[in-house]
Amino acid sequence: METKCAVTRIAIEGELSIFTAATERLHLLDAFESGNEVEVDLSQVSEIDSAGIQLMVAAKREAATRSTSLRFTGHSPAVFDIIELCDLAGHLGDPMLITARP
């Protein structure tokens, strides 16, 4: 966890799924506790499922309640696919880079 310009950056690596959701939730809550804006790097997320998606939605909501902001960045292809599938890009509101499909 590194802190710079009042932004707490964290990265989620590997799975973002039902198996890791509980840990990642605490991880994210910790980041919010810093009082800074939070930026979450998703570039290393290899897999994501509904639990991951709703964690993202809940994190956004948390940020709104705390009147701070939370950004997801560097969506990995797996995350990108799911957000497309659920048509949640608008809801989450983070710019996503459209990457070339492997």
Among 28, 40, 42, 45, binds another protein (CB under 8 A): 28
Q: Which residues of 40-55 are buried (b: 16+ CB within 10 A; e: fewer)?
A: bbbeebeebbebbbeb
State the minimum distance, in angstroms, from the CB of residue 84 to another protein: 10
Handedness of CA 79, 85, 91, 94 (dihedral sign): positive
Task: Supply the minimum distance, in Å, between the C-beta of residue 95 and another protein.
Answer: 19
Integer Cα distance of 51 and 76 in angstroms: 17
Regarding 59 and contact with another protein (CB under 8 A), the answer is: yes
Q: How far apart are CA 102 and CA 54, in angstroms?
A: 26
69 binds another protein (CB under 8 A): no
Q: Rule CB under 8 A: is residue 101 a binding residue for another protein?
A: no
Question: Of 9 and 56, which has the nearer Cβ to another protein?
Answer: 56
Token readout for 67 is: 């009147």
Binding site for another protein (CB under 8 A): 18, 21-22, 24-25, 28-29, 32, 49-51, 53-55, 57-59, 61-62, 64-65, 82, 85-88, 91
